[in-house]
């Protein structure tokens, strides 16, 4: 039995025009890094297509990686997935790995070679750490943080459209850390890990009265904007909405945006979350 852990890029406040020149520089730096990685790792390096790549680190561990919206390495670290054959990674261990990898990254600096070698060094301990955590022998500080940020998440019914499946999730939130907790808990849910996309949008009223809002397409270009526009149109604040989609093999075209918006709207309509209530 195998397992995997996929990182997601953190949400950030968008400033118009901020990333355009950086995106160009990031793309060039990433391409140069890919050439170097291919030269270093040879047959262990694989182009997966769709601007995604993989490096087999050990017989049981592979690192898959990509640059979300061309923002790596200038603005954020690469997005990635660790595939650990026969060693399913627990949520706690995955969070520890993610924190350690992110500490290795500095804005503007490529980091994938360092990540590969860090994983190679620590991979033998993944299974032992997993066992200790599953047996309850280790208590991790991140668990306490998760408990502090815990909020109730509501889930909608499964909507099927031409073999694609859609499920909406939503929660009332008051802090960014609660938003991150909701998204993280959904993406670590074993039932949702196979989703093709987990699309996110949120709106928060900060203590100073300003509004913080953002979205994440998760590869479904434009879908996050649809969800954010829905929250704006419904005049909702302190809400995070997520729609999970499983692609069924039949392209839906623009209809998919209508469906994604509708399943979240129907879920929110079933609550009393109106005009900030």
pLDDT digits (tens, 9 = 90+) for 264-276: 998 888 887 754 4
Q: Is the pLDDT of residue 201 over 80?
A: yes
Query: Which of 5-14, 82-91, 156-165, 212-221 shows the lowest mean pLDDT across its residues?
Result: 5-14
DSSP class of residue 3 equals: E
Average pLDDT over residues 249-269: 84
Q: Is the pLDDT of residue 227 over 50?
A: yes
Give me Rg for the CA atoms of the chain.
Answer: 19
pTM (predicted TM-score): 0.49
Q: Is the pLDDT of residue 66 over 70?
A: yes
Give dist(CA 178, CA 182) in Å, integer: 6
Report the percentage of the chain scoring pLDDT > 70: 77
What pLDDT, on the 0 to 100 scale, is given for residue 46? 92
Q: Is the pLDDT of residue 111 over 90?
A: yes
Q: What are phi and psi of 212, to 5 degrees?
A: -110, 120
pLDDT class of 31 with cuts at 50, 70, 90: very high
Average pLDDT over residues 220-225: 81
Residues 6+ positions from 222 with CB-CB distance below 8 Å: 257
**Which element (helix H / strand E) includes 161?**
strand 159-161
How is residue 37 written in tokens?
């990685």
End-to-end CA, the chain: 45
pLDDT class of 145 with cuts at 50, 70, 90: very low
Q: What are the domain boundaries of the chain? A: 27-125, 153-270
Average pLDDT over residues 159-182: 86
Q: Which CATH number fits domain 153-270: 3.40.50.2000, 3.30.230.30, 3.40.1280.10, 3.40.1210.10?
A: 3.30.230.30
CATH architecture of 27-125: Roll (3.10)
pLDDT class of 63 with cuts at 50, 70, 90: very high
């Amino acid at each position: 039995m195998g397992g995997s852990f996929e990182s997601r890029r953190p949400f950030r406040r968008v400033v118009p025009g901020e990333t355009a020149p950086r995106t160009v520089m990031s793309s060039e730096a990433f391409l140069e890094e890919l050439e170097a990685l291919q030269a270093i790792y040879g047959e262990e390096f694989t182009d997966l297509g769709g601007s995604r790549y993989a490096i087999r680190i050990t017989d049981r561990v592979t690192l898959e990686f990509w640059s979300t919206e061309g923002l790596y390495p200038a603005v954020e670290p690469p997005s990635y997935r660790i595939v650990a054959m026969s060693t399913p990674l627990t949520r706690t261990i995955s969070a520890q790995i993610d924190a350690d990898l992110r500490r290795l990254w500095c804005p503007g600096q490529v980091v994938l070679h360092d990540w590969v070698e860090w994983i190679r060094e620590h991979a033998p301990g993944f299974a032992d750490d997993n066992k200790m955590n599953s047996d309850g022998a280790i208590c991790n500080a991140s668990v306490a943080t998760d408990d502090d940020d815990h909020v109730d998440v509501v889930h909608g019914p499964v909507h099927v459209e031409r073999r694609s499946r859609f499920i909406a999730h939503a929660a009332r939130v008051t802090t960014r850390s609660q938003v991150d907790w909701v998204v993280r808990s959904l993406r670590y849910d074993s039932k949702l890990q196979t989703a093709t996309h987990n699309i996110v949008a949120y709106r928060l009223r900060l203590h100073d009265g300003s509004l913080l809002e953002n979205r994440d397409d998760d590869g479904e270009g434009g879908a996050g904007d649809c969800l954010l526009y829905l929250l704006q149109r419904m005049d909702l604040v302190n809400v995070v909405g997520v729609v999970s989609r499983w692609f069924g093999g039949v392209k839906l075209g623009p209809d998919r945006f209508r469906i994604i918006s509708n399943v979240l709207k129907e879920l929110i309509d079933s609550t009393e979350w109106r005009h900030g209530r």
